[in-house]
Amino acid sequence: MQLSLITVAFNACASLEDTILSVQQQQYQNFEYILVDGGSIDGTPEMVKKYPETVSSFISEPDKGIYDAMNKGLKRATGDVVGFLHADDRFAHPRVLKDIMDVFDNKEVDVVYGDLQYVTSFEPLRVLRHWKSGVFSRQLIQKGWMPPHPTVYFKRSLLKKIGFFDTSFKISADYDWLLRLLLSEGVSIDYLPEVLVHMATGGASNKSIRNIMQKSREDYRAICQNKAGGLLTLANKNLSKIGQFLPL
């Protein structure tokens, strides 16, 4: 099976190069790597030219935000399986893609996800938060459970059923999309119990109190639209993060 891996970026040249190197080091090589840039002016296009054997497709043009850029990547994808690795982030080890694709090759599954660690630095690795996903069940979603989006890989054929990211959400379109995916009838989901991604802290949703409030409002809208629960679901979703900060 072929994999389509998508990264979106904007004016993140230095950290993006480390992300590309993380992809380059993967043992699994049957993939296309799609990089969607929002028209950066920090030298990103020139840097990407250094990696023609890794970056299969490069778009650099203004967009309407991160989810618009992610949709551009999805529309360009041709692989059997699709996943995202965000700029600033890195794979946890060189076998990540191989381990993910082994699940797709050996099981009848539509979606595979794993664990994620938020880190304050990569070298040396300093882990701030450990997101252990656990085994999926539909009942857990109403309790606020959700796998980390950067670890979710899915069969591209599901896009016909699930659709793309809803860009009316500015911060929570990934949550809305995951709810549509995980609550869809007939979708087979498997948990890979290992850390797949090291994610840099400082995402857009937590940059300010204003963003945190906006995310909560958008999360609640996504919950209601997808009939995934109510205010208790939102509360549990936020409270569940506390345990991720505890020592392993």
Would the pLDDT of 101 be above 90? Answer: yes
- pLDDT for 204: 55
Q: Are 197 and 89 in contact (CB under 8 A)?
A: yes
**Cβ pair 28, 57 in contact under 8 A:** no
Report residue 210's pLDDT band, with 50, 70 and 90 as the boundaries: confident
pLDDT tens digits, residue range 158-208? Answer: 999 999 999 999 999 999 999 999 999 999 999 999 999 999 986 555 556
**Residue found by looking up tokens 């299969």 in the block:** 56
Q: What is the mean pLDDT of the chain?
A: 94
Closest to 130 in 3D by CA, of 238, 237, 239, 248: 248
Domains of the chain: 3-245 (3.90.550.10)
pLDDT grade, residue 124 (50/70/90)? Answer: very high
Q: Which pLDDT does position 203 carry in this prediction?
A: 58
Cα separation of 199 and 10, whole Å?
Answer: 17
